[in-house]
Chain A
């Protein structure tokens, strides 16, 4: 693999930090429990965008991600009676989403994404440079696929979707320390895949 040429620049787009649960949430959940459609729509609107992003990371395809989001909201309505009042809604909601997503991914034996996005070639890199990037993407995806399921989800939620450690711990029902350990281990593995790129840049 050639590492010559200008260093590969990949910029992390700034993502808004995860929103704190608004104060009206317990009341909203209580209204949904009573079958209030307006309250349910408020919750849908509030979490839909982020839910879709997480679902997309889990499923790798837009249609599958849309289905997963819909199924998750339906599951919320089905299980709202078991939701403990006073607990934050978001971790409970994302736990349902992530668990369903992992099950669906297992069932369909999906690989993350098969197509390479075209947008990255917009600045006209040289063919050699493009080949290098393609190889790097492939390496990274293979490394992600090889990670244990839990580590992979943690990386997706933490590095790509901006969830915090404690949030992930609550979603996956594990301790903060375990999240940090998994993240550390996953990073070690992924850094190996990134090593040629890091040397070049």
Chain B
């Protein structure tokens, strides 16, 4: 039984018979082939050159992204630490005098509630009351 532990030798009879059956490899015009190939390669090579130029800038940009993110997080944290929340707004106390003055103005400018319910109030009176003039 054959073992497969060593690199086999070429079989000269088989090689020759195969060569005879399939023929020798023809000789193409390698110069023309190389020319055509180099012409086709121009664009991909230019692309590689461009990538080479762009890549360092891209790498620098990539390095900056985590730094920018870290700076953003730190800034937010600092802002939250030093920012004092505004005290809840309290409505100004209305004095009794102010309240009396407002009531007096309303009494003078609005028709009586009875008139308003009966639809006897002038439209202008309602409008004035609504806009507060």
List residues of chain A with CB under 8 Å of any chain B CB: 10-13, 32-37, 40-41, 44-45, 48-49, 52-53, 56-57, 60, 62, 65-66, 69-70, 73-74, 77-78, 80-81, 112-113, 115-117, 119-120, 133, 136-137, 140-141, 144, 155, 158-160, 162, 164-166, 176-177, 180-181, 183-184, 187, 190-191, 194, 197-198
What are 30 of the A-B contact pairs (CB < 8 Å)?
Answer: A10-B17, A12-B12, A12-B19, A13-B24, A33-B48, A33-B52, A35-B48, A35-B52, A36-B45, A37-B42, A40-B45, A41-B34, A45-B34, A52-B33, A53-B25, A70-B36, A70-B40, A77-B44, A77-B45, A81-B51, A113-B22, A117-B24, A158-B10, A159-B11, A159-B18, A160-B22, A165-B8, A166-B7, A180-B5, A187-B14
Nearest B residue to A198 via CB reads B13
User: In the complex, what's the smallest C-beta–C-beta distance from A146 to chain B, in angstroms?
Assistant: 14
Q: Which residues of B contact A (CB under 8 A)?
A: 2, 4-8, 10-26, 28, 30, 33-34, 36-38, 40-42, 44-52
Q: Are B33 and A160 in contact (CB under 8 A)?
A: no
**Number of A-B contacts defined by CB within 8 Å:** 141
The chain B residue with its CB closest to the CB of A62 is B26
Specify which chain A residues have a CB less than 8 angstroms from the CB of B45 in the assembled complex.
35-37, 40, 77
When distances are taken between beta carbons in the complex, the residues of chain A under 8 Å from B33 are 48, 52, 66, 69-70
Q: How far is the CB of B59 from chain A (nearest CB, A)?
A: 14
Asked whether, in the complex, the Cβ of B37 is within 8 Å of the Cβ of A70, the reply is yes
Return A173 CB to nearest CB of chain B, in Å: 18
CB neighbours (8 Å) of B2 from chain A are 184
- Taking a contact as CB atoms under 8 Å apart, the answer to whether B48 and A12 are in contact is no
